[in-house]
Amino acid sequence: MSPSRLYTASVTPPLPLSSFNVSSNFCTEENVSECILYINQELLSLCFPPIFQNSDSISDLDAVVALNNIYDLLQLHRRAVGMMEELEVEQLKSSSDLHYQHLTNSRLKDQLELSKKENMRLHERERQLETNVKTLQNCLKDTKEEVQRLQGIIASRATQYNHDIKRREREHNRVKERLNQLLIAKKENKQGMEVLNYIGRSDGRRCLWKTGKTESRHEGDMYKTLLNEFDNRQRELMVENTELKKVLQQVKREMVGVLNSKKMSQEEEKQSNDMDQSTLQTNSDEDELLKRHHEMSCDHAREKLTNSIRQQWRKLKHHVERLDSQASMVQDGDSEEVISKQLHEEEMERLKLEIQQCKEFIQTQQQLLQQQLNTPCDEETAAVLNDSYMLEEKERLKEEWKVFEEQRKNFEMERRNFTEAAIRLGHERKCFEDDRAMWIKHQFLNTTFADQMKPQSRMADEFSKHSGREEKLISISGKVSKSHL
3-state secondary structure of 158: helix
Output the smallest distance, CB 366 to other proteins, in A. 41
184 is a site residue for other proteins (CB under 8 A): no
| From 184-192, 370-378, 418-426, 441-449, span contacting other proteins (CB under 8 A) | 184-192
Contact residues for 252 (Cβ-Cβ < 8 A; gap 6+): 283, 305, 308, 309, 312
Q: Is 190 in the site for other proteins (CB under 8 A)?
A: yes
- Cα end-to-end distance, the chain, whole Å: 181
10 Å Cβ neighbour count for 7? 14
Name which position in 54, 225, 281, 386 contacts other proteins (CB under 8 A).
Answer: 225
Interface with other proteins, residue 146, by CB under 8 A: no
Would you count residue 195 as binding other proteins (CB under 8 A)? yes
174 binds other proteins (CB under 8 A): yes
- Under rule CB under 8 A, residue 28 binds other proteins: no
Residue 310 near residue 283, CB atoms below 8 Å: no
Pick the closer one to other proteins by CB: 32 or 150. Answer: 150
Among 59, 162, 307, 363, which residue sits at the site for other proteins (rule: CB under 8 A)?
162
Collapsing DSSP states into helix, strand and coil, what is residue 52?
strand
Contact status: 186 vs other proteins (CB under 8 A): no
Nearest residue (CB) to other proteins, 86 versus 219: 219
Using CA atoms, how far residue 446 sits from 226, 380, 459, in Å, is 121, 91, 13
Residue 360's identity, in one-letter code, is E
- Minimum Å gap between C-beta 148 and other proteins is 13
**Looking at 2, 198, 204, 381, which residue binds other proteins (CB under 8 A)?**
198
If binding means CB under 8 A, how many residues of this protein chain bind other proteins?
Answer: 49
CB of 262 within 8 A of CB of 319? yes
Nearest-CA neighbor of 4 among 95, 73, 96, 77?
77
169 binds other proteins (CB under 8 A): no
Q: Binding to other proteins (CB under 8 A): which residues in 237-266?
A: 237
The set of residues, in sequence order, having a beta carbon less than 8 Å from that of 263 and lying 6+ positions away, is 269, 272, 273, 276, 319
Orientation of helix 273-292 relative to helix 299-328, angle to 10°: 150
Q: Return the residue of 55, 191, 375, 483 that touches other proteins, per CB under 8 A.
A: 191
User: Rounded to the nearest whole angstrom, what is the least distance from the CB of residue 128 to other proteins in the complex?
Assistant: 37
Rounded to 5 degrees, φ, ψ at 12 are -80, 135
d(CA 112, CA 247): 74
- Is 197 among the residues that bind other proteins (CB under 8 A)? yes
Taken in order 428, 431, 435, 436, the sign of the CA dihedral is positive
By CB under 8 A, tell whether 210 contacts other proteins. yes
Q: How far is CA 68 from CA 14, 27, 62, 132, 155, in A?
A: 21, 20, 10, 94, 126
Residue type, position 422, single letter: A
Q: CA of 141: how far to CAs of 134, 137, 150, 191, 398, in Å?
A: 10, 6, 14, 65, 110
Cα 259 from Cα 253, distance rounded (Å):
10
- Please choose, out of 44-52, 220-228, 359-367, 470-478, the segment that lies near other proteins by the rule CB under 8 A: 220-228
Binding span for other proteins by CB under 8 A among 5-13, 74-82, 173-181, 350-358 = 173-181
Segment near other proteins (CB under 8 A), from 49-57, 221-229, 294-302, 459-467? 221-229
- Does residue 188 belong to the site contacting other proteins (CB under 8 A)? yes
Cβ proximity to other proteins: between 157 and 427 the closer is 157
Q: State yes or no: residue 204 binds other proteins (CB under 8 A).
A: no
Count how many residues are written for the chain.
485
The yes or no reply on residue 182 touching other proteins (CB under 8 A) is yes
Residue 172 Cβ vs other proteins, minimum distance, rounded to whole Å:
9
Q: Is 131 in the site for other proteins (CB under 8 A)?
A: no
| Selected binder of other proteins within 203, 295, 380, 393 (CB under 8 A) | 203
User: Interface with other proteins includes 183 (CB under 8 A)?
Assistant: no
Which positions lie near other proteins, rule CB under 8 A? Answer: 150, 152-153, 155-157, 159-164, 171, 174-175, 178, 182, 185, 188-203, 207-208, 210, 214-215, 218-219, 221-223, 225-226, 229, 233, 237
